A = this chain, B = another copy of it.
């Protein structure tokens, strides 16, 4: 059993001492064995979570974050200063930065998750076997969920809090650049758990910048029930290629908008601008615009002008450049690029078949959109495009857990197993079958 720390024993740094910095491992296998005590503690701590005061814990975590705001900001300043010294870009520094307002919004998010419906102990179906026993399919915790992610330290709290609400323990592996910030954030979460009588080890930081620990997590079959990577393309593909534990792949978005022959062009223009410009650095922004050859003459100049007004760099195929000569020429690599920037590839396609085939070849199965007034074309597009979310006459930017009304989002799944598209709390639980009989045997 976990030994509760008495209030008078606690210094503000008590939890850091429990989640101590890890030694440098020689390889992934060694990292896994150095992680063994963390796995054991996570497993033991997890047992009390599903039937423990989970929502109270989330509110206590919010209180701890607020009361330790100065300490969080100070630790974060160290991280930011160290990165700035390396010459990291201001955009990346901004992703790393925590100030009072951001800490308040992280704390408020914890309280908001506490208000969401419980994903656990829900009966999804129940029936009676012909042979007699009653069956209930109920939601159940995964157990130990590991999260591997990049710079933004708010993910540390998001992931920990969503795992707890879903009844699981969390192992958090953020980026080396955010280690000081993450130490204090995790310490605050552990104190919040302790405040309500739950074992702090339900949230643990992988407290080392060493990359072998990623390998240690990814190979920990039997100790880690699920890994969710969140970050750029190379992180995701490393995790997916390496992991022997179950993974939910998230987030690479090479998304398209196809302007069909029967599109309302002012609608197409508005959607193109919104889907590219409103927040270009996210996965549900579009990276390529496909324009039907039959409307290229009318559509391209006006959409290009609208995007140009927002400083979007356009890279077009030859036919597109024939309509808008100011476009740069697109290279083959541009069709599969996730620019995450004010850059858009533009291609004129002969018809819907060519659009579908371009999307099939270059898309990342995330979010795809068509603008058309023709319902049967829209139906065909929705039926044939293989992606998590397929839009008719709306912006791809709606692929988002909050927009979907899930109240939270742990990431956007681009795989087809278990969860596809925006993942809220329902994606963080599994199910089990409970059967109740009165001595039935199989004949």
| Contact surface of A with B, Cβ cutoff 8 Å | 47, 50-51, 127, 129-133, 135, 140, 142-143, 221, 225-226, 240-241, 244, 246, 248, 264, 267, 270-271, 273-275, 278, 378, 382-384, 386-395, 397-399, 403-405, 415-418, 420-421, 430-443
Known: A132-B394, A393-B436, A421-B432. 4 other contacts (CB 8 A): A226-B416, A394-B439, A417-B418, A420-B432
* CB atoms of B389 and A129 under 8 A apart: no
CA distance A131 to B135 in the complex (A): 39
* CB atoms of A133 and B267 under 8 A apart: no
Q: State which of B51, B129, B391, B437 has its C-beta within 8 Å of the C-beta of A437.
A: B391
CA distance A143 to B417 in the complex (A): 12
Least CB distance, A379 to chain B, in whole angstroms: 9
* CB atoms of A392 and B433 under 8 A apart: no
Chain B positions within 8 Å of A392 at CB level: 434-437
Stoichiometry, copies per complex: 2
Q: What are 19 of the A-B contact pairs (CB < 8 Å)?
A: A129-B398, A129-B405, A130-B405, A131-B403, A133-B391, A267-B439, A274-B442, A390-B434, A391-B437, A392-B434, A393-B436, A393-B437, A394-B435, A394-B440, A395-B440, A397-B441, A398-B440, A420-B432, A421-B433
Q: Which residue of B lies closest to A400 (CB)?
A: B442
* CB atoms of B386 and A143 under 8 A apart: yes
CA distance A225 to B416 in the complex (A): 8
The 5 closest A-B pairs by CB, nearest first: A394-B437, A274-B441, A416-B430, A397-B442, A418-B418
Chain B positions within 8 Å of A420 at CB level: 430-433
Also in contact, A278 and B398, with CB within 8 A (given A432-B390, A433-B421, A435-B389): no
Interface hub of A51, A127, A131, A430 (most chain B Cβ within 10 A): A430
Also in contact, A432 and B398, with CB within 8 A (given A278-B442, A405-B127, A415-B246): no
Q: Which residue of B lies closest to A284 (CB)?
A: B442
CA distance A142 to B430 in the complex (A): 20
Interface hub of A384, A420, A443 (most chain B Cβ within 10 A): A420
Q: State which of B226, B274, B378, B442 has its C-beta within 8 Å of the C-beta of A395.
A: B442
* CB atoms of B432 and A226 under 8 A apart: no
Chain B positions within 8 Å of A389 at CB level: 432-435
CA distance A437 to B372 in the complex (A): 11
